[in-house]
Structure 1
Amino acid sequence: MPKPQLTWVAGASVAYKTVTVRYTYISKPLKNVGNSNVPLGFRAAHLSTLGLSVVKSASGFPSFAIFCRFEVDVITSLGLTRRAFFLSNVMNDQSNKRNFKRFYEKTVVPEVPIDVDTQPFRHKDFPDSGPHPWLDRPDAKEQIEARLHAQELTEEEAELCRKWERDGYIILKGFFSHEQLDATWAAYEAEIASGNVQPPNEPLFEGDTLPGRVLNTHFKVGKVKEMLFDDRMSGIVSLLLGTRALPFQTISGHKSSEQLQHSDSIHMSTYPTGYLVANWIAFEDIHPDSGPLVYHPGSHKLPYLMSDELDIPFDVGYKAYKSKYEPAVQNLISTHTLEAHYFLPNKGDVLLWHANLLHGGSRMKDPARVSRKAVVCHFFAEGCTCYHDLIGMPASVMNLPFDTEGYLKTNPDVAQSGWDPGHHYFTTGRFEGRVPGEFDSESYLKAHPDVAAAGIDAYTHYRLHGYKEGRSLK
């Protein structure tokens, strides 16, 4: 069989840092007439032996182009779905996808199951149970080398994992193109101009006119959603967690948050603990005086500092966060003499950090340098229970049933109290026998004639007795 002769084709390249290539010779009728398999884990330098043309892209990553008579299976350290896309197009054979399944293509299965319908969403109330993310385990270093030896990892992936285990973060240089960043930010600005996105007014100094941060802009800006669900990024997050990533949240900002250091896990918590990754995407070159992201390498190995350890009740949340949590974190930094690093990226660079890495927004020093355009993305892991420890609430990705209007109609005392109905139900109401919406008294009495015969108010009976007895609502 002749060697593949792959040459540069404009618009047909996929830019990656390193690749492992499995190539298949395809005839015009798209019949597989022969193939040659290349051992996993070989370096880019070996590509020349296969007749592959290698060029340097603008970002500095090698680019591999596809000649029209051949297809290439690209298995990279920077994403799974790209590879599956090529496999699907080359062979159209589901068995090939199964043969190339990566070790992290799975969901988290807690060692101790919980019932989300009755589980309080505070860290102390969950079992002290695993499995823990693979790079957080005591044998993580040995596992990295074992998987490298077994060719489950490339050398470049292994190096990412080593740094993550050691320092709790990685930096990807030039990951996103300037063209994508410019188009995404223009779309975001257009939604602000139209009034569809309304940033808060959060001036850092007198005369500051830049908008404040906006949560979950991916709901309204399609191009931000594309970045959150980027296949290459999800592949990297999955690699670091050892399980499939679940894109969750975005925060878009024109300038520094000036938020004191914290661990994301008090805000975005998981059971089992630790299945969260965040990234910070630079939309411009970041100046040291703009208030860059500050982080503390190695701090992810400290014990998790959660609400109940500081006696923060869920009903005071962010008030006690300022008075108790932030001082406690500053004390940790001082006690452990944690070194501060500042992220000074070029446009397109991305910092990813561990669920427990201490980080924050440093103070802006020069009003002339206030601009610090960025998008932050957060990822949970599939199979976890995701919640917010500080306020005792489930995360939106849990999709637990709740009807605000029906709940307030059924519970006028909650409406009168001014308590947020969702927060009331998940932290208090469901443990009082309240239902997550409107209570249907007629259906309850029809299902339980003894209650009807007793002449007791249906909802009162259910709250006092019915839910404890396991009675159905209809």
Structure 2
Amino acid sequence: MEIDLQKWKRDGFYVLPSFYSHAEIDEVVAAQDRTWNESHPRIVVDDNRTGERNYLSDVDKAQSNNWYKVNDLYLELPVVRHIGLNSRISPILEKLLGDVPVMCNSLSFERGSGQPDHIDALYMTPQTQGHLIAIWVALEDCHADAGPLRYWPGSNAIPPYQFSNGSNHVVDEEMPEWNRYMAEQTSERKLSPVTFAARKGDVFIWSAYLFHGGSAIKDPARTRKSIVFHYYSQYDCERNGWPTRREGGAGWLYRQHATVNGVAGAFPPE
């Protein structure tokens, strides 16, 4: 597939329409639903309404999974890893990242995130600047009232904000200053937000420095099924001595599940 690197560097995102077939997407959705219904014991979920983190097995199933973000199914489900690492997507990510991508997390959503605009490098700060990339895979058509993905084309060119400790990694109490900085930068550059009218099977790729978030959910009855993957570079993983596994012409980070109530999560089976 021909990739326009100049467009990528200018815009900070790339769209691959109808990249996955409906059959491929349906397989992922079915696997995710089974995991939810079977209360997989190692899976960790976050309540998007309260921010509370729990094991999936401790979630009240009388509630639907619609309001939860399910973390790191890639560690447990080969079908989930495959949708983010395969012979078609991996070479594209490698070209855009400039190195072999290593999947480091997956986030599964039933509804829009409603997340404020941010850049991923704030929270998943790569050791080498630019060595982080992400994709968003639409698991269904996204209605305009379901809280579509929102992004600011060209915002990837905004110089990363430096916090008082000299780092680009988030310092929570300084986020008001960061928000003011981004508002000034987007205004000076005459940037405007755009929503992504996703169709089932579409893939949206973005730079770690693209300003983006979840737009407002106007109709809470509507779902916005999607899965997000983030990737570090193989170079940074090797520098840090992180264990990885090869798959789909790239790699994935072999690590523990997320911490819950101060207790480190379990490792997935080898």
Per-residue deviation, residues 182-212 of structure 1 (Å, max 9, x unmatched):
11111101111111145333349xxx94131
Q: CA deviation at 1:335?
A: 4.1
Q: Distance in 2 between matches of 1:218 and 1:255?
A: 19
Unaligned runs of 5+ in 1: 1-76, 78-155, 388-393, 403-418, 423-474
1:223 matched to 2:79? The reply is yes
Query: Matched residue of 1:281: which SS?
Result: strand
Q: Name the counterpart of 1:165.
A: 9
Whole-angstrom CA distance in 1 between matches of 2:143 and 2:49? 19
Deviation of residue 294 (structure 1)? Answer: 0.6
Per-residue deviation, residues 384-439 of structure 1 (Å, max 9, x unmatched):
2599xxxxxx796688999xxxxxxxxxxxxxxxx9699xxxxxxxxxxxxxxxxx
Pairing 1:356–2:209 present: yes
TM score, norm. by length of structure 2: 0.76
Alignment partners' CA distance in 1, 2:220 and 2:254: 44
The alignment's TM-score, normalised by the length of structure 1, stands at 0.45
1:181 alignment counterpart: 25
The residue aligned with 1:338 is 191
**Helix, strand or coil for the counterpart of 1:270?**
coil
User: For residues 92-144 of structure 1, what are the alpha-carbon distances to aligned partners after superposition, in whole Å with 9 as ceiling and x for unaligned?
Assistant: xxxxxxxxxxxxxxxxxxxxxxxxxxxxxxxxxxxxxxxxxxxxxxxxxxxxx
Report the equivalent of 2:57: none
Aligned match of 2:128: 272
Contact 2:148 2:224 in 1 (8 A): yes
Which position in structure 2 is the counterpart of 1:301? 157
Q: Which amino acid aligns with 1:291?
A: G
Give matches, 1:30-429, under 5 Å: 77=1, 156-157=2-3, 160-196=4-40, 197=43, 199-203=45-49, 209=64, 210-308=66-164, 319-320=172-173, 323-369=176-222, 371-384=223-236
Instruction: Report the alpha carbon displacement of residue 227 of structure 1 after superposing the two structures with TM.
Output: 1.3
Query: Once the 2 structures are TM-superposed, how far is the Cα of residue 167 of structure 1 from its aligned partner?
Result: 0.8
**Deviation (angstroms), 1:307:** 4.0
Residue 304 of structure 1 aligns to a residue in which SS? Answer: coil
The structure carrying a bigger strand percent of its residues is: 2
Deviations 1:136-158 (A, max 9, x none): xxxxxxxxxxxxxxxxxxxx33x
Secondary structure, in 3 states, of the residue corresponding to 2:46? coil
CA distance in 1 between counterparts of 2:167 and 2:231 reads 28
Answer yes or no: is the 8 Å Cα contact 1:269–1:386 preserved in 2: no
User: RMSD over aligned Cα, in angstroms?
Assistant: 3.3
Q: Which amino acid aligns with 2:194?
A: H
- Match of 1:252, SS state, is strand
Percentage of pairs with the same residue: 28
Say which SS state the counterpart of residue 277 (structure 1) adopts: strand
Residue 232 of structure 1: CA displacement?
A: 1.3
Amino acid at match of 1:176: Y
What is the Cα deviation at residue 174 of structure 1? 0.7
Gap runs ≥5 in structure 2: 51-62, 245-252, 265-270
Distance 1:341 1:277 in 2: 19
**Structure (1 or 2) with the larger CA radius of gyration:** 1
Contact 2:142–2:148 under 8 Å retained in 1: yes
Q: Say whether the 8 Å CA contact 1:176–1:348 is kept in structure 2.
A: yes
Total equivalences in the alignment: 237
Contact 1:297–1:340 (CA under 8 A) maintained in structure 2 = yes
Equivalent position SS for 2:37: helix
Tell me, in whole angstroms, the C-alpha distance in 2 between the residues paired with 1:335 and 1:386. Answer: 39
Using CA pairs under 8 Å that are at least 6 residues apart, name the structure with larger relative contact order, 1 or 2.
Answer: 2
CA change 1:258–1:396 in 2 (3 A) is: farther
**Which amino acid letter does the alignment assign opposite residue 239 of structure 1?**
K
CA shift for structure 1 position 306: 4.5
Contact 2:20/2:201, CA 8 A, preserved across alignment: yes
* Structure 2: distance between partners of 1:259 and 1:395: 32
Is the partner of 2:68 in helix, strand or coil? coil
